[in-house]
Amino acid sequence: MAPKVWTTFTAKKSNGSDVKLRIQDMPPERLEEVLNFFDDYYNQNNAFYKLLGVSKNPKAVQESIEGMRQMFKAAPTKIVICCMDNGDAKPEIVGATAAGVTTSKDNIDDFMNFNIKTKEVTELYALFFELMKLYDVFKGKNVDRYSDERGLAVSKDYGVAVLKELLNVRRKLCKELNVPLSAFWAMSTDQQNAAEADGWETAFEVTRDEVAKKLGVTITEDPATYRLVVGTAL
């Protein structure tokens, strides 16, 4: 059976050319490719990833990829890819997002039920978990379950337009995942602009300096604030 196509659209590459794209369910056999894509464009561009120098340790890089794989297994997860709409049997992937489900009964430690060995990844998850504690989606939005982010990335040849389409599909996925809304921490200017363009609400915002002080680290990379954004189901 052919993967479900959620939307088709045209976007501009960084060189100015127009390209036809589609967002579809990820074929299972492309999982490893998607994991590597996330590492190239999601992990490597994350402020915490850079801060801790994860990319400088090959073992830490592999462990961070394994961490994503474990997250995909820990709870219901839906992965969609944005790819060329050119008739190829295996079209080039230019974007991807993974939407998981978190409930009020979940224990966050269950999502990382594998033996972490590297110092970098241990500290990486510690920072992420501290960030997640800053805003309680369950209480703030009066829900007992929601779709969280397990990955959101776009190739450097594209930008906000493709991110916006992926976020729009994330909202559509809510019905399939049986949740009322989707939420994630927008930690880049492109993510924040895409969320705003697709009508996501900023439920909580904190300055980069406040986060750095709370975590006992120094963060100098933009944006100046991080936003917990919420998109209602479509």
Query: What's the whole-number average pLDDT of the chain?
Result: 92
**Does pLDDT of 110 surpass 70?**
no
Q: Summarize pLDDT for 68-80 with one digit per residue, the tens.
A: 888 887 777 899 9
Contacts of 59-63 with CB under 8 Å at 24 or more apart are 59/117, 59/118, 60/118, 60/119, 60/120, 60/121, 63/116, 63/117, 63/118, 63/121
Domain-by-domain residue ranges, the chain?
Answer: 5-232
Indicate the pLDDT class of residue 56, thresholds 50, 70 and 90. Answer: very high
Identify each DSSP E strand in the chain by its residue range.
Answer: 5-12, 18-25, 77-84, 93-103, 145-154, 181-186, 201-207, 225-232
CA nearest 6: which of 66, 57, 82, 76?
82
CA nearest 186: which of 177, 194, 197?
194
Q: What pTM was estimated for this model as a whole?
A: 0.94
Encoded tokens for 174: 């809510």
- What class is the 5-232 domain? alpha beta
Is the preceding peptide bond at 223 cis, omega within 30 degrees of 0? Answer: yes
CA nearest 179: which of 88, 104, 89, 113?
104
Please give the pLDDT value at position 73.
78
Encoded tokens for 27: 């074929």
Please give the pLDDT value at position 114.
64
Encoded tokens for 223: 């944006």
CA nearest 177: which of 79, 37, 30, 33?
79
